[in-house]
Amino acid sequence: MNSTNPNNKFPESALNNVFALVDCNNFYASCERLFNPKLEKKPVIVLSNNDGCVIARSNEAKATGIKMGAPAFEFKELITKHRVHVFSSNYALYGDISNRIMSILYELAPDVEVYSVDEAFLDLSKMKFEDLAAFAKKIRKTVKQWVGVPVSVGIGPTKTLAKIANHVAKKNPEYANIVNLCTIENTDNLFKTIPVSGIWGVGRAYSNFLMERGIHTVYDFKKSDENWVRKHMGVIGQKTLFELRGVSCLSLEAFAPDKKNICISRSFGTPLGSFEDLEQATSTFVTRAAEKLRLQKSCARAVFVFVMTNRFSNTPKYVNSTLIQLPVPTSITSEIIHHSLKGLKKIYRPGYKYKKTGIILSDLIPDDQLQYGIWDDLNRENFTGLMQVVDKINARVGQGAVKFAVQGTKKQWKMHQERLSPQYTSKWNELLTIKI
DNA sequence: TCTGGGGTCCTAGGACCC
DNA sequence: TCTGGGGTCCTAGGACCC
């Protein structure tokens, strides 16, 4: 390992830090409720693409026994029996609601790290200790009042502890969605009641590993030997251990770094057999990925293309992929499509029913560090200008307003979304109308 | 019938070099 | 009869997150 790797170093002590984690309660389900108040107190679930798996559940839905991440068809009976309201995922809606919530947090707190669509860390180190509880209440109240989504707030001296605090706040109604570990007398007693799997950074594999060795709770893990943890869980596990002991190893990252890979992939509603259909899907994926690429002002040096048949069915299976080095780092959609389709041709085999394909743009570099090849005969300036115009039109008129011919118009590969709610906040013709 | 999508980081081990 | 050692780079795979 590189000796300059900063990951080996821990601050001596960081007890003066205070972090908060603000996390939306059952976010997607709460978003669906916003425009549909009849759903209050009713079980609500949201499904993944193609209406496949359960990816969000209201508390009432959790109580019915519907499992997170499991295929929806396994719960058909429960859904009917408990009259669960089912929605296809509506990412345009959730993204917009998320932006509104985050902008409130930016307004209320000095330093914010948007960690995911429904979570943000706040650095409250500069805030007076006695003001923390009131501040957490203010966050909850403001977000609820201005946007309508309930949130939970966990506070602690490290990010990992703030995560745990949030976990406790959500699981135990008596805390009313706010837990501040800094003011709890004996956190060890609390930690004895939380399973080790509740720790941020301890997933399924590690929690099985730990439980087999008698480490069942957060408390057990916190008391584990540092070197043993380092040996079996690497530097990340060691950091987690330190964080649980109150030593801050993970700082607030206010600025999201550029992506190192950009991936677009989809499962198809109906499996595809023909090359033309896959070609249309693949070029559409490249188009979206290249938009994202240009948004962060990067160019890709390679593109990875993959295809696969349904891994669950008994039909003939085929999985293949190819990595294509682009002759010149580029963000020009047509150029990346050209190379991707060459790759697709290489791995396509007729006779299979393809369930999923995708592309990954990789080896990304900032677009101001380009080195053009000597034999490059493409007029890059013209194409870059064209891309800017296309991006502008699509941003204004709507995604896909201007397309490449190869993307086709039939969209054979479209998803199943039988229970999609309207884009209440981001499409003019789907705005909510209220009759008075 | 029906099983998501998009990311990151770390580590071990092989290739290669001197 | 002998068969080094240290370093870098790359990749695949495994872990995690939401």
Residues A183 and A268 in one domain: no
Is A347 part of a structural domain of the chain? yes
Please indicate whether residue A90 or residue A435 has the higher confidence score (pLDDT): A90
- When pLDDT is cut at 50, 70 and 90, the band that residue A308 belongs to is very high
pLDDT score of A16: 85
- CA–C1' span, A413 to B8, in Å? 29
pLDDT score of A252: 97
Last-in-domain residue among A185, A215, A244: A244
| Span A47-76, average pLDDT | 96
Residues A332 and A359 in one domain: yes
| Span A354-376, average pLDDT | 86
Residue A81, pLDDT > 70, answer yes
Is A257 part of a structural domain of the chain? no
- When pLDDT is cut at 50, 70 and 90, the band that residue A207 belongs to is very high
Domain count, chain A: 3
CA angle A399, A98, A22 (to 5 degrees): 155
The predicted model scores a pTM of: 0.93
Distance of CA A159 to CAs A16, A96, A105, Å? 13, 26, 17
Cβ of residue A201 near strand C, that is under 7 Å?
yes
Lowest-pLDDT range of A90-104, A122-136, A310-324, A376-390: A376-390
Last-in-domain residue among A218, A244, A270: A244
Contact A18, A58 (CB under 8 A): no
Residues A125 and A228 in one domain: yes
Is A3 part of a structural domain of the chain? no
Residue A213 token pair: 């060795």
Residues A168 and A191 in one domain: yes
pLDDT score of A197: 97
Q: Residue A334 belongs to what domain range?
A: 262-407
Is A135 part of a structural domain of the chain? yes
Digit-coded pLDDT (tens) for A243-252? 999 999 999 9
Is A330 part of a structural domain of the chain? yes
- CA–C1' span, A216 to C15, in Å? 19
Residue A400, pLDDT > 90, answer no
Cβ of residue A218 near strand C, that is under 7 Å?
no
Lowest-pLDDT range of A217-226, A244-253, A290-299, A393-402: A393-402
Identify the residues numbered 114 to 173 in chain A whose C-beta atom is closer than 7 Å to any atom of strand C.
115-119, 163
- When pLDDT is cut at 50, 70 and 90, the band that residue A4 belongs to is very low
Tokens 């209050």 map to which residue?
A40
pLDDT score of A373: 66
Of A421, A349, A398, A354, give the one whose Cα is nearest residue A97: A421
Residue A5, pLDDT > 70, answer no
Residues A355 and A206 in one domain: no
Contact A66, A75 (CB under 8 A): yes
Give the 3-state secondary structure of residue A163.
helix
Of A196, A202, A168, A162, give the one whose Cα is nearest residue A182: A162
Residue A231 token pair: 């040996």
H or E element at residue A92: helix A91-108
Is A149 part of a structural domain of the chain? yes
Residues A119 and A226 in one domain: yes
Name the strands in the sheet holding A44-47, side by side, starting at the edge strand that comes first in the sequence: A54-57, A44-47, A85-88
- When pLDDT is cut at 50, 70 and 90, the band that residue A398 belongs to is confident
Residues A191 and A298 in one domain: no
Of A154, A167, A151, give the one whose Cα is nearest residue A117: A151
- When pLDDT is cut at 50, 70 and 90, the band that residue A372 belongs to is low
Last-in-domain residue among A91, A108, A143: A91
Identify the residues numbered 158 to 197 in chain A whose C-beta atom is closer than 7 Å to any atom of strand B.
none
Residues A85 and A121 in one domain: no
Residue A280 token pair: 């249309």
Residues A85 and A189 in one domain: no
Residue A126 token pair: 């500069």
Cβ of residue A427 near strand B, that is under 7 Å?
no
CA angle A59, A95, A175 (to 5 degrees): 35
Is A198 part of a structural domain of the chain? yes
Give the 3-state secondary structure of residue A123.
strand
Q: What is the DSSP letter of A256?
A: P
* Mean pLDDT taken over chain A: 92
| Span A118-126, average pLDDT | 97
Lowest-pLDDT range of A156-160, A268-272, A380-384: A380-384
Nearest-CA residue to the C1' of C18? Answer: A116
pLDDT score of A13: 43
Question: CATH number of the domain that A305 lies in?
Answer: 3.30.1490.100
Residues A111 and A142 in one domain: yes
Is A332 part of a structural domain of the chain? yes
Termini Cα distance of chain A = 68
Question: CATH number of the domain that A116 lies in?
Answer: 3.30.70.270
Digit-coded pLDDT (tens) for A124-136? 999 988 899 999 9
Residues A234 and A364 in one domain: no
Measured in residues, chain A has a length of: 436
- CA–C1' span, A88 to B6, in Å? 18
Residues A155 and A217 in one domain: yes
